[in-house]
Amino acid sequence: MSDTTTSTLEGRTIAVLATDGVEEVELTQPRSAVENAGGTVRLISLRAGDIQAMNADVNAAGTYPVDQLASDAAIDSFDALILPGGTTNPDRLRQDSNAVAFVRDFVRSGKPVAVICHGPWTLVEADVVRGRTLTSYPSVRTDIRNAGGTVVDEEVVIDGNLVSSRNPDDLPAFCKVIVDVFADSPS
């Protein structure tokens, strides 16, 4: 339950859908924000084992253990979803029918979905941006418009159950907003 000073995510389980090529800070900072607010984070991916994160898309960073496969993930097990970017990560996710179905079902469920940087590519593939307003990395904006979405250039955009940010520079604001939105959503 939220109080006036701190949002709490105790008892909430948040899915992070990512694969090899994820931008490390876009994975680790939201994950830490959720865990620091008392939430549990589960890394969902395309294959078992570890995923390789990157810095600036081209420099290998840390590896992170996968908790569950997208093919086995059910939205009923989660209270919210985070879609980090990196160019390779969402490009791989949008080619996997299980990942796309998971994202589509999650958005349609009304549960909160937070997406940053290149992450909206997966939303575009899931056909859930039509009539929605969001922001993203500049190179993704044409894809959002072509899929029927409206793009704005703002630090954080909230449209219904979608929360979006442009790039890693927006992470402090993005992390604060997603914790608040996740805490305020029905569990």
* Active site members: 117
Q: Which uninterrupted H or E stretch holds 82?
A: strand 80-83
The residue among 52, 74, 80, 81 whose CA lies nearest residue 65 is 52
* 3-class secondary-structure state, position 130: coil
Within 81-151, where are the H helices? 88-93, 97-109, 120-125, 141-146
* Rounded distance between C-alpha atoms, residue 180 and residue 34, angstroms: 10
